[in-house]
A and B are shown apart, each in its own frame.
Chain A
Amino acid sequence: MIHIATFHAHIGAIRCKRDCERAGWKARLMPVPRSLSSSCGTCVRYEGDRLYPCREMPEELEQIATERDGKYVTLYRAEEGEEAWKALSD
């Protein structure tokens, strides 16, 4: 499944890409797509069988979305907190 993770800071995206590569997932850094957010930071597009390559919620994470029928659908926002993260990432 293709995911796109956006971050509050560029370093969050760099760490995410590194974690994806450690998990053997394909990942690349890119600018945040306009239809996903009005912010112009960095995101990571990755292909993996889980929501995120590591179990702990990354500090800089903003949201994780996926592509469905050419549109982005948000799966998780940092505001939803640790409980929602655990439920989704298990």
Chain B
Amino acid sequence: MTNKRETRIILLAGALIGLIAALLVPLGNPGNMGFCIACFLRDTAGALKLHSAAAVQYIRPEIMGLVLGSFLLALLRGEFKPRGGSSPATRFILGFFVMIGCLMFLGCPFRMILRLAGGDLNALAGLIGFAAGILVGVYFLNKGYSLKRSYTLSLSEGLSLPTISIVLLILLLAVSGLLAFTEAGGGPGGAHAPIWVSLAAGLVVGALAQYTRLCMVGGIRDLVLFRETKLLSGFAAVFVAALMMNLILHLGGRASFFVSFEGQPVSHTDFLWNALGMALVGLGCVLLGGCPLRQLVLAGEGNTDSTMAVLGLVCGAAFAHNLGLASSGAGPTLNGKIAVAIGLATVLLIAVMNTFQKGKK
């Protein structure tokens, strides 16, 4: 596949993903949250009663769809390869703190783009912090950062997250009485598209992301490292397509679109902490090798290092809500600010310890 063809495909895929994400909102998902990997993992953790925040509890079929879409396409293309063993505990901790950063900002990098496309100017603060975090991460990459190589593993290892996804779907469809659900109108967890629509959207986006390797972190990283805009063009296509669809839906009276800092759905206006939260996400994701969406897609391909990162994200979400670390529309909490500061220090320490090692060639 030539570079130009790869770019065309990633532009088309990004546009389709942007359209799907924008359409999920009038179908029931919360505002500017057609997709949000952090929010959806947090909601899923709540449905499983890993945290007790009543406003954010629902098993999001989009997550299962993303993993299974990637899994099925990887299987078809002969790219499903169980691999792992590259510093799994470190990846879990990085995933944990990436979630703390996401819940400070109220969204993952994917939702940051969707918030921008929805007119939420607070996401600009997130984007500035995100890019700064990535630049710091790239500094460590160039200085020799490595979590060491991965190894071929057994099939059962590689199948772990796809299997968990199927089990969660069964729980949602067959034994939902065991789970906790936010009631309609009770918070973001109560706003969702129909199950089959969410699942189909996840499957399509998961397959597209597997095929194109779309990654919100990889775009900026590749631009800095190689002056290469291919992955970033996918990022831009998501933004443009979602923006256009939001405008069409607004004109058609199916959704509201307004450009502002104040009054945007599931967001707050604290510039500094929006930026710092996403700086933690940008740095953590460069050290992990991809954004939360990419971690789900890689886990679908059999990469258990990414499965560990996803489990870290889920654990981070549970802690964030149990300990009052997550922001709300009212703004960040003191506990959240302390957690982000600890997160930045921890992630920097991980970067330093895995970059400047004794005896390294």
Cα–Cα distance between A70 and B210 once the two chains are bound (Å):
23
Count residues on chain B whose CB falls below 8 Å from chain A CBs.
Answer: 34
Choice from B86, B152, B213 contacting A38 with Cβ under 8 Å: B213
Choice from A42, A59, A79 contacting B152 with Cβ under 8 Å: A79
- Asked whether B225 lies within 8 Å of A42 as measured between CB atoms, the reply is yes
Q: Which of A9, A15, A60, A78 has the most CB of B within 10 A?
A: A9
- Asked whether B142 lies within 8 Å of A40 as measured between CB atoms, the reply is no
Task: Jot down 16 A-B pairs with beta carbons below 8 A, ordered by A.
Answer: A8-B146, A9-B148, A10-B142, A10-B145, A11-B141, A12-B146, A29-B226, A31-B222, A31-B230, A33-B1, A33-B6, A35-B1, A39-B213, A40-B213, A40-B290, A59-B149
Q: What is the minimal beta-carbon distance from A63 to any residue of chain B, in angstroms?
A: 12
Cα–Cα distance between A85 and B148 once the two chains are bound (Å):
20
- Asked whether B74 lies within 8 Å of A38 as measured between CB atoms, the reply is yes
- Asked whether B149 lies within 8 Å of A8 as measured between CB atoms, the reply is yes
Q: Mark A18-50, 1 if CB is under 8 A from B, else 0.
A: 000000000001110111001111100000000
* Interface presence of A2 (CB below 8 A): no
* Interface presence of B361 (CB below 8 A): yes
Please indicate the chain A residues that have their CB under 8 angstroms from the CB of B145 in the complex: 9-11
Please indicate the chain B residues that have their CB under 8 angstroms from the CB of A8 in the complex: 86, 146, 148-150
Cα–Cα distance between A14 and B225 once the two chains are bound (Å):
11
Cα–Cα distance between A79 and B152 once the two chains are bound (Å):
9
- Asked whether B149 lies within 8 Å of A31 as measured between CB atoms, the reply is no
Q: What is the minimal beta-carbon distance from B246 to any residue of chain A, in angstroms?
A: 28
Please indicate the chain A residues that have their CB under 8 angstroms from the CB of B225 in the complex: 10, 29, 42
B214 nearest CB neighbor, chain A only: A40
- Asked whether A11 lies within 8 Å of B144 as measured between CB atoms, the reply is yes
- Asked whether B146 lies within 8 Å of A30 as measured between CB atoms, the reply is no
Please indicate the chain A residues that have their CB under 8 angstroms from the CB of B301 in the complex: 38
Choice from A34, A39, A42 contacting B6 with Cβ under 8 Å: A34
> What 14 additional pairs, Cβ within 8 angstroms, besides A33-B6, A42-B226?
A8-B150, A9-B147, A9-B149, A10-B141, A10-B225, A11-B141, A14-B144, A29-B225, A31-B228, A33-B3, A38-B213, A39-B213, A60-B146, A60-B149
Count residues on chain A whose CB falls below 8 Å from chain B CBs.
Answer: 23
Cα–Cα distance between A50 and B212 once the two chains are bound (Å):
32
Please indicate the chain B residues that have their CB under 8 angstroms from the CB of A34 in the complex: 1, 6, 212-213
Q: What is the minimal beta-carbon distance from A38 to any residue of chain B, in angstroms?
A: 5
A28 nearest CB neighbor, chain B only: B226
Cα–Cα distance between A9 and B225 once the two chains are bound (Å):
14
Within 235-278 of B, Cβ neighbours of A (below 8 Å) are at none
* Interface presence of B218 (CB below 8 A): yes
Q: Mark B63-101, 1 if CB is under 8 A from A, else 0.
A: 000000000001001010000001000000000000000
- Asked whether B146 lies within 8 Å of A31 as measured between CB atoms, the reply is no
B286 nearest CB neighbor, chain A only: A10
Q: Mark B91-128, 1 if CB is under 8 A from A, else 0.
A: 00000000000000000000000000000000000000
Known contacts being A34-B212, A79-B152, is A11 close to B146, with CB within 8 Å?
A: yes
* Interface presence of B231 (CB below 8 A): yes
Q: What is the minimal beta-carbon distance from B110 to any residue of chain A, in angstroms?
A: 16
* Interface presence of B215 (CB below 8 A): yes
- Asked whether B142 lies within 8 Å of A14 as measured between CB atoms, the reply is yes
